[in-house]
Amino acid sequence: MRNQTTENKPGTDFGIFYPLGYLVVAFPNQEDARQVQRDLMAGGYDQTDCEFYTCKEVADAAQRNLADNKGFLARLGWSDEAVKAHLEAAKQGSAFLLIYAPGDTDAARAMNVIRRVPFDFAHRYQRFTIEKIK
C-alpha cells in the first residue's frame, strides 16, 4: 500500500473533519478493530495507512471538532453529520480504524477485510461525498 503523504493526510472541510481518501470504520469492539488492522497490515498496509483509535480518542476529537466549528459553512454538506455519527458510536464504546483507501480498488480490498468481522459503519470520504458502506 502506498504510504500517505502530507498532502493526503486527514483534513477538514470548512473546519469539520473530512479525511479525503480514507475510510472511517467503527467496530463494536476493540478486538475486531485490532484484528482488521493486523489483517490489513499483513496484506501490505503500513501502520500509518491503517490507524487505530479508541472510543475515548474519537469522542474527544469529535466533541472538540463539533464545538470548534459551529459556523454556517461548517454545517454545509454531510461532514458534521458524519462526525456526529462518529461521536455517537464512540459514546457506545466503538473502536475505530482510519484506513487510507484513495481509490475504488483500495476501498473494495479494505472492505473485503472489514466485512470479516462485525462493524457499526464505514464512511468513505471522497471528493464531494461521504459514502456509507455496508
Residue 68: the pLDDT is: 79
Span 60-92, pLDDT tens digits: 999 998 887 765 544 555 788 899 999 999 999
pLDDT: is 134 or 101 the higher one? 101
Residue 6: the pLDDT is: 43
Residue 13: the pLDDT is: 45
For the chain, which residues make up each domain, given as ranges?
A: 21-133
The three-point CA angle 8-12-13 to 5° equals 120
Mean pLDDT of the chain: 88
Residue 34: the pLDDT is: 98
| 134, pLDDT greater than 90 | no
Residue 67: the pLDDT is: 86
Q: Per-residue pLDDT averaged across 26-39, rounded?
A: 98
Q: Per-residue pLDDT averaged across 4-9, rounded?
A: 47
Q: How confident is the model at residue 20 (pLDDT cuts 50, 70, 90)?
A: very high
Q: Which residues contact 82 (CB under 8 A, 6 or more apart)?
A: 17, 24, 123, 130
Pick the CATH number of 21-133 from 1.10.20, 3.30.70, 1.10.10, 3.90.320: 3.30.70
Residues paired with residue 50 on neighbouring β-strands, in sequence order: 99
Pairwise CA distance, residues 75 & 82, whole Å: 11
